[in-house]
Chains A and B, each alone.
Chain A
Amino acid sequence: GNSVTQMEGPVTLSEEAFLTINCTYTATGYPSLFWYVQYPGEGLQLLLKATKADDKGSNKGFEATYRKETTSFHLEKGSVQVSDSAVYFCALRATGANSKLTFGKGITLSVRP
């Protein structure tokens, strides 16, 4: 079946550090890939997405590239801020009618001043 694997956390960085959060997936066909973010006390919200191989999703300084050859969708940001402290979820949606989102387990990012 479909699955999403995220790197183990939590991750703690200093402000302005470079961020990489790894995500790999297992799915048949060509799924759409997503990163969702959950800020403290809030629900998840879509951060970025990519729908086909080599697409790059970007938003709020975050980027992720859909790599079909390595089945990966790693999240990166060049310079993190304290306000980026949150839980980050990688997710996929398989092709086909009525397919639903499959989420990874999430990783907590803490950015210290």
Chain B
Amino acid sequence: NAGVTQTPKFRILKIGQSMTLQCTQDMNHNYMYWYRQDPGMGLKLIYYSVGAGITDKGEVPNGYNVSRSTTEDFPLRLELAAPSQTSVYFCASSYEGRNNEKLFFGSGTQLSVL
């Protein structure tokens, strides 16, 4: 009963490096999301996907890319890491049916860019 799994849990990057944050869900949810959480701030939506092959920008997409080749996986790519991308990243999924607005979150990835 894994739910939403994110890896890695922690990562330190140097400015200009790239990396991919992995996210997998085993609940057959069609919707998936990436959020970032900065200290003292609410969660901000980076990108989301309504199904395999379909992605769209959220509030703060700059500096990130995503892909959704399968229902289960929704990786987030940072191409040129910047200090402003230091944050905690959460992946989430949901089944967007009638009256179902419940998101399931992973445990987060703490990223520091130095």
Interchain CB contact under 8 A, B4 and A49: no
Cβ of B28 to closest chain A Cβ, rounded Å? 18
Chain B: residues with Cβ within 8 Å of the partner, total of: 22
What's the Cα separation between A42 and B106 when bound, in Å?
7
Flag A28-60 by CB within 8 Å of B: 1 or 0 each: 000010101000011111100101000000000
Contact B4 A103 (CB under 8 A): no
Chain A interface secondary structure, helix, strand, loop or mixed? strand
Q: Which residues of B contact A103 (CB under 8 A)?
A: 35, 42-43
In the complex, identify which listed stretch (B63-71, B73-81, B97-105) lies at the interface while the others stay far away. B97-105
The 8 A CB mask of B45-79 against A (1 = contact, 0 = none) is 10010000000001000000000000000000000
Check A77 for interface membership: any CB of B closer than 8 A.
no
Interface size for chain A: under 10, 10 to 19, 20 to 34, or 35 or more residues? 20 to 34
Chain A neighbourhood of B37, CB < 8 A: 106
B48: contacting residue among A42, A45, A100, A106, CB under 8 A: A100
Q: Would A32 and B101 count as touching, CB distance under 8 A?
A: yes
A71 to B91, CA, bound (A): 29
A/B interface sample: 13 pairs, CB < 8 A: A42-B107, A43-B105, A44-B43, A45-B104, A45-B105, A49-B102, A100-B45, A101-B43, A103-B43, A104-B42, A105-B41, A106-B37, A106-B42
Q: 5 closest pairs, A vs B, by CB? A: A43-B105, A103-B42, A103-B43, A44-B105, A105-B42
Q: Which residues of B are at the interface with A, using a C-beta cutoff of 8 A?
A: 4, 33, 35, 37, 40-43, 45, 48, 58, 90, 92, 99, 101-108
Interface residues of A (CB under 8 A from B): 4, 32, 34, 36, 41-46, 49, 51, 89, 93, 100-106
